[in-house]
């Protein structure tokens, strides 16, 4: 399950783990004009962990999900 909300400066997507246990904590993705943040609570430390991806890194991740093992560089058309 997921939700999508449009805030003033970002689109916020929340991914909720469903199914048989063990379940993972919710993942919150904030899409800004210049970057994407991915936030999740680490249940072992009860700390929020955040990573920030540039839009280039996000593009590369999107492409990588559909490619076999290897080293790649995307080229601009």
Q: Where are the domains of the chain?
A: 2-64
Could you give the CA distance from residue 50 to residue 72 in angstroms, rounded to a whole number? 26
- Reported pTM: 0.84
For the stretch 18-25, contacts whose Cβ atoms lie closer than 8 Å and that sit 24 or more positions apart, written own/partner, are none
Q: At which residue do the structure tokens 């990573």 appear?
A: 51
Range 58-68 average pLDDT: 90
Range 43-64 average pLDDT: 95
Q: Is the confidence at residue 76, as pLDDT, over 80? A: no
Could you give the CA distance from residue 53 to residue 16 in angstroms, rounded to a whole number? 21
Per-residue pLDDT, 66: 86
Could you give the CA distance from residue 3 to residue 30 in angstroms, rounded to a whole number? 12
Could you give the CA distance from residue 49 to residue 32 in angstroms, rounded to a whole number? 18
Q: At which residue do the structure tokens 């955040």 appear?
A: 50
């Amino acid at each position: 399950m997921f939700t999508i909300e449009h805030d003033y400066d970002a689109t916020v997507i929340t991914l909720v783990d469903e199914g048989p246990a063990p379940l993972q904590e919710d993942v919150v993705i904030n899409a800004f004009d210049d970057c994407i943040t991915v936030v999740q609570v680490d249940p072992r430390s009860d700390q929020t962990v955040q990573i920030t991806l540039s839009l280039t890194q996000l593009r590369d991740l999107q492409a990588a999900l559909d490619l076999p093992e290897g080293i790649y560089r995307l080229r601009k058309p």
